[in-house]
Structure 1
């Protein structure tokens, strides 16, 4: 930690003091430090290893676009060290959703969706710029958007079904292949990669995004489904009031139709978002099921309140029953519900705490 602080101070030309550990991950260390002039900055230092180096490349390339995150003040490529502006202690979207103020939570959700839509829309002409930045900082490592994660997930999902003693319904492999290969090149938009509620600050200047480690371009439908489900790969998952969920999705859509006018066509939008919902349901099943089978547990190690893995899985599978365009997949989630979730003695996934007193 001392070496990180000294190196960051040298980059800024002033000493840094009073570090506060903000958490980070196995890939990175994140600190808040005071400057000699009385302000504060955020330091993010990345570990060694291919995944950490890819995370550094994504973060630096994504922040360098200057679209939605904190200002990148300085960087040391050899140390994989970034110095960013401190956005302060504004509440995250997670804070609002888990709080008690329904108006603040609703406003935060709508601002989150509009902000992600504006980000995607503004990013459309800058894809080549991002690719060049990735090549500069990634030093030959494949970018996240080059990772065939949807195809890999499809194969892993079939393996997981067999591991659980379940026979995949006929046609499932073909459906998963079809949903995983559509839209990405037709409707790409930039995303930081992890737009979960705790990575979104609601500042007086508007939405600001954190964590660009998995930054890249992906189908805008994947973010649309994030609005609809909601938060497809996150821990902060509860049910939204149906009317609000529709307005959140429409807020995002209203922005991305600017670069992609044909997304105003209802049939096209619904089909694309349904495909993305299949993708995310597969993804959440892969991430949660093996840990949920032997015993249940909370979705987050320390945050409370928080749902359990079994609650979230059962909710995802039940929601996916409505994806009737994909009969083999809906047969699969019906099988998961009847063969695995029947004995799960957990309550239905509740609504977000902020909205429980409404209506």
Structure 2
């Protein structure tokens, strides 16, 4: 802790004290610290494993675009660590969704979708800038834009299924490769990467995004799928009232058509969203398979929260309806029958804020 404070203080040219642990993650330490002048900053220190270094590069470069997020105040790539503006303790979108005020939850969802859509529009011509910044902060590992991680997860999926005794249709591998490759370089926009509810502060000045560890350019469908699923890779996942997911998705879409007018056409939008739902389901399943032998809460400390098995079963049920991908849809049904069929867990309830919980 003392070493982090000293290094961050040297970056800022001032002494830091009174660190408060903000939670971080297995690969980061995040501290709110007091400055000598009486203000506060947030210090984020990263580990040294390849994925930790990739996260540092992504966050340093993503914040340096100055399109969203807290102001980046200093960088030390020898630690590595970042010093950022302290955005305070405003409620997150997760807080209001898990609360008891339906209007606050609805307003928060709308602000989230609108803010991400506007970020996408502002970013479409800045991809070269992000590449240059990523190279400048490079730590010897490929950036998220340089690594075809969607294709990698798609390629690994059949083997991951075989590891739990699910024999996928032989056509699955080729089908997933086509899903991942189709449109992979179209309708691109910047995203912080992890736009889950707890990474979105609802401040008096509007939506503020945090956590840029996976910042990159992705097809806008990958962000839009967060509206539809909802929240593709997150722990704060319950069901939304009928029609609300579609409304939030349309809020996002209304913004991004300013950059990509073609997306007003359902013939383009709907297939793109369905591909994204399939890819996020593959990504989540591959990552959670090692943990699903024991059902446990999807978050270490937050409550209420779904269990991992509730979350996976809900994702598989949603993805099983994607009949334009027959091998994939059949695989989802196999998972529901041969894996989730033995799980004694209740259905995923609704978000508490809308009175549908439990």
Aligned residue-pair number: 357
Give 1:74 deviation, angstroms.
Answer: 1.8
In structure 2, the gaps of 5 or more residues are none
Aligned match of 1:228: 228
Aligned match of 1:321: 320
1:348 has 2:342 as partner: no
Contact 1:289 1:313 in 2 (8 A): no
In structure 1, the gaps of 5 or more residues are none
- Taking structure 1 as the reference length, what is the TM-score of the superposition? 0.96
4+ residue runs of structure 1 moved beyond 4 angstroms?
Answer: none
Q: Please report the RMSD computed on the Cα atoms of aligned residues, expressed in angstroms.
A: 1.4
1:109-148 aligned at under 5 Å gives the runs 109-148=109-148
Contact 2:96 2:105 in 1 (8 A): yes
Aligned match of 2:301: 302
Over residues 268-312 of structure 1, what are the superposed CA-to-partner deviations in whole Å (9 max), with x where a residue is unaligned?
1000000001001111111223322x3311111111111111111
1:1-359 aligned at under 5 Å gives the runs 1-292=1-292, 294-356=293-355
Give 1:139 deviation, angstroms.
Answer: 4.4
Question: Residue 336 of structure 2 aligns to a residue in which SS?
Answer: helix
Give 1:140 deviation, angstroms.
Answer: 4.2
Q: In structure 2, how many angstroms separate the alpha carbons of the residues matched to 1:50 and 1:285?
A: 22
- Could you tell which deviates more after superposition, 169-178 or 87-96? 169-178
- Could you tell which deviates more after superposition, 79-88 or 9-18? 9-18
Q: In structure 2, how many angstroms separate the alpha carbons of the residues matched to 1:58 and 1:311?
A: 31
Q: In structure 2, how many angstroms separate the alpha carbons of the residues matched to 1:174 and 1:254?
A: 33
Give 1:218 deviation, angstroms.
Answer: 0.9
Over residues 128-149 of structure 1, what are the superposed CA-to-partner deviations in whole Å (9 max), with x where a residue is unaligned?
0110000010144211122222
Give 1:160 deviation, angstroms.
Answer: 2.0
Q: In structure 1, how many angstroms separate the alpha carbons of the residues matched to 2:314 and 2:47?
A: 36
Q: In structure 2, how many angstroms separate the alpha carbons of the residues matched to 1:13 and 1:317?
A: 51
Over residues 204-255 of structure 1, what are the superposed CA-to-partner deviations in whole Å (9 max), with x where a residue is unaligned?
1111111111111111111111110011111111111131101110111111
Give 1:46 deviation, angstroms.
Answer: 1.9
Q: In structure 1, how many angstroms separate the alpha carbons of the residues matched to 2:135 and 2:314?
A: 40
Give 1:9 deviation, angstroms.
Answer: 2.1
- Taking structure 2 as the reference length, what is the TM-score of the superposition? 0.96
Contact 2:90 2:202 in 1 (8 A): yes
